[in-house]
Chain A
Amino acid sequence: MPSTLPETELHNPQTTKTPLDPHLKALENEAIHIFREVAAEFDKPVMLYSVGKDSSVLLHLARKAFYPGRVPFPLLHVNTGWKFSEMIAFRDETVKKYDLDFIEHINPRGTAENVTPFSHGSALFTDIMKTEGLRQALDAGGFDAAFGGARRDEEASRAKERIYSFRTPEHRWDPRAQRPELWNIYNGMIRKGESVRAFPLSNWTEVDIWRYIQVEDIPLVPLYYAKERPYVERDGMMILAEDPRLELLPGEKVQHGSIRFRTLGDFPLTGAIPSQATNLEEVIAELEIATVSERQGRAIDRDQSGSMEKKKREGYF
């Protein structure tokens, strides 16, 4: 995007698209308001970018919020080294296409101590590579505000989280000492070292995300659409079998089928679902009759009930 714009060309080329319905428009307005408020109030914001569908929506809203200017903060990808390869390709393309400032961080302990989801289990692996990795990256960048794409409808402990979620210098979340949040007036006052996680998508539901992607024509990682892919069944999950680091256990065999993913993360921890939905319309059609929540495919939530709250208290996003 050019830094200056001729007066006559302030139009986005896509003026012919259908306008948002009042429901999505209200959610979009709220998200843009939050983006602008954080960008104005904090010294050094950053946007957590996980390459998934929620991150794609978040990025789209950020571009809208600051148009005709550039997105005034960097994107941070806390990589684990175990992401789907298609995610990384999509990520690099997106950063280039939208002229974004981009930071990638991988916890060095990952390679130094050979931390893998197979050797350490999902709980410890996530704790080291995601929670600890995120803390490292935020500390290194000196960021005082971090945008995330979390939604309150995702998980029970999220339902009580504020839009500005206060964190101690140790990145801890104390659910009992949250600041009251009234109207749309956000309290961004913090001391040095403290920070805020800001969640512009707090009031969105999964259906809203998908419908917004459809109306706004937001590009996604192709893994969200069904395709003939190799997979292995393990612990009741369908694991994508294309990375050579996936070692087959006794009795396991690579199968092929039309599958897609409802959420994206580390390939060994993210289960696919059988699906014939090869485009957005079909994905939404499937979603509308879905009777299982999207986090069902995630090993991380199933370790124990209340596991997300525990991780969040320790600084997980």
Chain B
Amino acid sequence: MTVSAIAQAAAEASTGSVTAFPANETARVPRDTRPLRLITCGSVDDGKSTLIGRLLWDTKAVKEDQAATLRRDSGKQNDLGLPDFALLLDGLQAEREQGITIDVAYRYFATDKRSFIVADTPGHEQYTRNMATGASTADLAVLLVDARTGLLEQTRRHATIASLMGIKQFVLAVNKFDLVGYDRARFDQISHEFRELALSLGVRQITAIPMSALKGENVVYDGKASMPWYDGQTLVEVLELATVRSAQTVGFRLPVQRVSRPGESFRGYQGTVAGGSVKPGDSVVILPSGMVANVTKIVTFDLVRNAAVAGDAITLVLDRQVDVSRGDMIVSLESKPQTGLAFDAQLVALQSDGIQPGKRYWLKSGSRRQRVTVEPSSQLDLKSGKWSHHTETLAMNAIGKVHLAFDEQAVFDAYEQNRTTGAFILIDPDTNNTVAGGMITAKRSSLSGIHTEDSRVLLSLPADLADQLMATELFSARREEADIRRISAGKAAEVLDGIDG
């Protein structure tokens, strides 16, 4: 997305010129920005199907023949003459028979400003797995509550999972607002509670909207007739102005998908830029080997480009013969990701077998697949939002902190820094199924992860252990960075207690 597009959209929104779409508006042809991916969280009781149906209906994403099929299948309409939106959304016959939604579905609609991809996930007990899947690609979460009941335990769960998966923008849809008499005090109370919840999760971009999805108030069209006191945005206006995540601020990352060698004279590395930008002349490092080279060309079908940014699918040509294969990562020399054999991560267990400690899984991140052993260390209690002190296994739908141990060098950024190079899936080698989605939190050093940049550590060791440590290659290579004193055990205890105290 361009900054000017946002600015322009913002300017138009603030003048109120884009609030309503005439009923005979033509199909939308968005041009100015990338599609916004969002997830909707809530249950059938909150009116989620009605909300999504309303979005599709009022943006003309439902065509007449689909509507006719709906009317035929449902044989009933609601009192506003609209079809049963749930039937539009619950696409699988198996679901219709059971009256439930069983999986993540993707919906598409567009306005003049932008197009939208909605991950529609069911709100019942499989929510963690499905929500994590839908949230993994989403830039924004719409959390639905029934105005009569307000925030529920499930609202906290949905918000917790969404923030854990890296979503930084929340919209609270206070739905069925017609059923509380459009009471402003009620809205203020619910939105205040929600703001506190979101802030406690570290989410700061929060918008609360009073709405009636059934009546179409504050979804696409405004609800001024019923709620003259509400002068905020409609849901669609918020979505039009939301930001699409960009990984351009961090260092250049290119996970190599394949090596293109159409002939002897050409050798290019194909992949999608996962962070930062690159231009000819840049110095790059190939990880994990650590070899250095310079970029000579960025090749695409259309033209030889003079730069590429995060999201671009490119072919990179380097100035020298280096050994690069699928699974390697080409990165900027100045800002490298972490390389190591042990990392800490959070993950969501997706299958009924859960996550077994000590089992060797396949881990796939970017284009790299490697063996990993997973040791769960604690589990998130979604009711309270607190982490347990200790756990050894993670059952299906559990969210846990884990230690990852690799046989070969692994390359990651923290998920906070880069949502592509910090994410991974686990694959069970017995079933080939995807059993977890994970997010890297930090590299684990051999000293149990006490390493942080620019800090120093005081160790009090038995002299013989210190001798062994100092004899290692790693230590002797950096001998001049270490300060060493020989003191008694009693004196050491005094010194360390003094620091802690």
Interface, chain A (partner B; CB < 8 A): 2-7, 10-12, 14-15, 17, 21-23, 25-29, 32-33, 36-37, 39-40, 63-70, 152-153, 155-160, 175-176, 178-185, 187, 189-191, 202-203, 205, 207-208, 211, 287-293, 295-296, 305-306, 309-310
Contact = CB atoms under 8 A, between A and B. Distances in A.
26 contacts: A22-B2, A22-B33, A25-B34, A26-B311, A33-B313, A40-B257, A68-B268, A70-B262, A153-B108, A159-B105, A160-B103, A160-B104, A160-B106, A176-B94, A180-B133, A180-B437, A182-B133, A183-B419, A183-B420, A183-B437, A190-B432, A203-B35, A293-B64, A293-B66, A305-B73, A309-B93
A305 B68 CA distance: 12
B437 A182 contact: yes
Interface stretch (B216-224, B284-292, B297-305, B466-474): B297-305
A292 B65 contact: yes
Nearest to A156: B91
Contact of A182 (B110, B260, B302, B423): B423
Contacts of A63: 301
Contacts of B104: 160
B102 interface: yes
A179 B365 CA distance: 16
A40 B367 contact: yes
B383 interface: no
B424 A185 contact: yes
B105 A68 contact: no
B501 interface: no
Nearest to B265: A4
Interface in B268-310: 268, 270-272, 297, 299-304
Interface in B432-475: 432-434, 437
Contacts of B262: 3-5, 68-70
B92 interface: yes
Contacts of A185: 364-366, 423-425
B390 interface: no
- 10 smallest beta-carbon distances between A and B, as pairs: A4-B263, A156-B91, A69-B262, A32-B313, A293-B63, A306-B93, A64-B301, A182-B136, A182-B437, A189-B432
Among B73, B91, B103, B326, chain A packs the most CB atoms within 10 A around the CB of B91
Interface stretch (B22-30, B142-150, B335-343): B22-30
Contacts of A208: 115
B105 A160 contact: yes
Contacts of B326: 40
B313 A182 contact: no
Given A203-B106, A291-B63, A23 B31 contact: yes
B157 interface: no
Interface string B63-89: 111100100110000000000000010
Contact of A207 (B27, B133, B304): B27
Contacts of A25: 34, 311
Given A4-B265, A33-B313, A203-B35, A67 B63 contact: no
A211 B265 contact: no
A11 B303 contact: yes
Nearest to B104: A160
A228 to B, nearest CB: 26
B35 A23 contact: yes
A contact patch SS: loop
Nearest to A155: B91
Contacts of A5: 262-263, 265-266
A112 to B, nearest CB: 33
Contacts of B63: 290-293, 296
A15 B91 contact: no
B264 A184 contact: no
A190 B429 CA distance: 10
A33 B313 CA distance: 6
B224 to A, nearest CB: 28
Contacts of A158: 91
B133 A287 contact: no
B169 to A, nearest CB: 18
Contacts of B92: 156-157, 160, 175, 306, 309
Contacts of B263: 2-5
Contact of B27 (A23, A29, A287, A295): A287
A32 B301 CA distance: 11
Contacts of A292: 63-65
A183 B313 contact: no
Contact of A22 (B32, B93, B136): B32
Contacts of B195: none
A280 to B, nearest CB: 14
Contacts of A65: 270, 313
Contact of B91 (A12, A69, A157): A157
Contacts of B114: 23
Nearest to B303: A15
Interface residues of B, number: 84
A295 B272 CA distance: 33
A6 B96 CA distance: 59
Contacts of A296: 63, 65
Contacts of B110: 205, 207
B117 interface: yes
A5 B102 CA distance: 51
Contacts of A187: 364, 425, 427, 432-434
A17 B1 CA distance: 20
B160 interface: no
A22 B136 CA distance: 21
Nearest to A185: B425
Contacts of A33: 257, 272, 313
A184 B93 CA distance: 28
A98 to B, nearest CB: 12
Among A175, A185, A211, chain B packs the most CB atoms within 10 A around the CB of A185
Contact of B302 (A17, A66, A181, A293): A17
Contacts of A69: 260-262
Contacts of B137: 182-184
A68 B420 contact: no
Contact of B136 (A10, A183, A189): A183
Contacts of A36: 257-258, 270-271, 313
B173 interface: no
Given A67-B315, A153-B108, A160-B104, 14 more contacts: A5-B262, A23-B35, A27-B35, A36-B271, A180-B437, A181-B434, A182-B132, A182-B434, A183-B425, A184-B420, A203-B108, A287-B27, A289-B26, A309-B91
A23 B115 contact: yes
B301 A67 contact: yes
Given A64-B301, A160-B92, A39 B432 contact: no
A156 B120 CA distance: 13
A37 B35 contact: no
B236 interface: no
A296 B143 CA distance: 34
Nearest to A6: B265
B156 interface: no
A203 B118 CA distance: 10
B91 A178 contact: no
A69 B424 CA distance: 30
Contacts of A305: 69, 72-73
Given A182-B136, A207-B110, A310 B301 contact: no
A107 to B, nearest CB: 26
